[in-house]
Amino acid sequence: MKEEEHKKQERKINLLAKQKKKILLSIILIAILVYVIYTLYLLIKQPTDVFTVEKGNLYLEETDVGYVIRDEQVVKGENYKNGMEQIIAEGEKASKDEAIFRYYSSNEENLKKKIEELDIKIQDAMSKDMSYSNPDIKIIENQIDEKMQNINKITDSAKLEEYKKEINSLISKKAKIAGENSPQGSYLKQLIEERKQYESQLNSGAEYVTAPKSGIVSYKVDGLEETLTPDCFSELSKEYLESLNLKTGKVIATSTECGKIVDNFYCYIVTISNSENAKNAKVGDKVKIRLSNNEEIPAEIVNIANESEDERLIMLKVEKQIVELTNYRKITFDLIWWSAKGLKVPNQAIVNVDNLNYVVRNRAGYLSKLLVKVTNVGENYSIVEPYESDELKEMGYSNEEISKYKKITLYDEILLNPDINKVE
């Protein structure tokens, strides 16, 4: 019996010990949970109570859809169905009357093939007869070798085509020198004369198209060049622009029949906006636009029309990124009404008292009321700066008050939604 009672007593002790462990573990877990909740509360609460003053940029902007309008002139020749070869590449400048592209002759492929075959025969004839080697030919051969070595390193298609033309020109020059030095009636002379005849046929059959004025060469032709012009603003409307059914951000296809000359100094973007800033805008206002490539460029409002009671049709003139804009007719862009840099603080931290703006600084628990000058106000933040002594004098402050003036500085901690009446 005693042994059974002893075992029962041991079981009770073990059970009590287990219960104590469970209670202790529960207390520890509750304490940890309370600590975590309190820490999270502090983390969440802190940013809403205190803000550290920082330098920043502030923008008042809106995202709009714009139609690109250019001063541009389409150029097209008679033989546009033959296909064309670009002489001046897309986006490069051309002078007035300079050849910008040419149309192939009707028998061009066949003539080119015959010239290539003759070049091989000429090279073979020259390599077999050392009498055609002279210093001038050696110089040209060295130039050809140099360009042949460099051509393997080129990845740009336009530069590659240019190198090929230069090599062909050097080969022709080499053949011409050899032909002039070869005896009359020789095999090489006959080959070179035959090549000249084919070249003459090739050049006479091709049609060269020149620039009617100086500007940027573009082959992005969409048929709206004569319709959307800088002089057509009075005829534009939201209904008309939408009726064009243009896809936003779509790159204009490259034409294989014609090209155009675009004014390289400026172009225009027409947009429709119903914002308050648009309603208050004036001709001559300076703004900025941000394109899809994140480039910010200056712009000027040159025309405004009332599209409706709430909407304004605005024409912006830009003088940068002209080449980039030749790729598009309809774009999305950010219209930046103004931008500012400086000390950036939340609007919640600014208190207006008697037409003066204050923030409350917290420095080691000591609160100070700081007078600040608000230079720009955004939706959620403002740019502020301290007043200068001269400004304070004009506002009626005494020299003693100016000497005690506390300025807001970078990294100051300021209160959000402060009670200004509780601060000295």
Residue 402: give its domain's CATH number: 2.40.420.20
Asked whether residue 351 carries a pLDDT value surpassing 60, the answer given is yes
| Mean pLDDT confidence for 155-166 | 66
Q: Which of 353, 255, 339 is nearest to 289 (CA)?
A: 339
281 band by pLDDT with thresholds 50, 70 and 90: very high
328: exposed, middle or buried (Cβ count in 10 Å: 0-12, 13-18, 19+): buried
Query: SS3 sequence, 174-195?
Result: HHHHHHHHCCCCCHHHHHHHHH
Q: Count how many residues are written for the chain.
A: 424
DSSP three-state, residue 360: strand
Do 310 and 377 lie in one domain? The reply is no
Asked whether residue 141 carries a pLDDT value surpassing 60, the answer given is yes
Average pLDDT taken over every residue of the chain: 85
In this predicted structure, what is the pLDDT of residue 12?
65
Residue 311: give its domain's CATH number: 2.40.30.230
Domain housing 310: 63-73+227-249+263-339
Asked whether residue 70 carries a pLDDT value surpassing 90, the answer given is yes
How much of the chain, in percent, has pLDDT values that exceed 70?
82
Taking only Cα atoms into account, the Rg of the chain, rounded to an integer number of angstroms, comes to 39
Paired with 352 in beta bridges are 357
Does 27 fall in a domain?
no
**Phi and psi at residue 368, in whole multiples of 5°?**
-130, 140
From first CA to last CA, the distance across the chain in angstroms is 83
Q: How far is CA 128 from CA 114, 188, 271, in A?
A: 21, 11, 70
In this predicted structure, what is the pLDDT of residue 82?
83
pLDDT in tens, 212-242: 999 999 999 999 999 999 999 989 999 999 9
In this predicted structure, what is the pLDDT of residue 106?
73
* Boundary-marking domain end, from 304, 324, 339: 339
Asked whether residue 47 carries a pLDDT value surpassing 50, the answer given is no
| Helices within 152-290 (DSSP H only) | 157-181, 187-205, 238-243, 276-280
- If one compares 173 and 217, the residue with the highest pLDDT of the two is 217
In this predicted structure, what is the pLDDT of residue 91?
94
Q: Is 163 left (phi over 0), alpha (psi -120 to 50) or beta?
A: alpha
**83: which DSSP letter?**
-
Number of domains in the chain: 3
Asked whether residue 187 carries a pLDDT value surpassing 60, the answer given is yes
pLDDT in tens, 190-216: 777 778 777 776 666 678 899 999 999
* Boundary-marking domain end, from 339, 354, 374: 339
| Mean pLDDT confidence for 127-139 | 64
How much of the chain, in percent, has pLDDT values that exceed 90?
56
Does 276 fall in a domain?
yes
Residue 59 makes CB contacts below 8 A (sequence gap 6+) with 336, 338, 339, 378
Asked whether residue 152 carries a pLDDT value surpassing 70, the answer given is no
1 band by pLDDT with thresholds 50, 70 and 90: low
Paired with 251 in beta bridges are 328
**78: which DSSP letter?**
T
- If one compares 62 and 146, the residue with the highest pLDDT of the two is 62
Does 191 fall in a domain?
yes
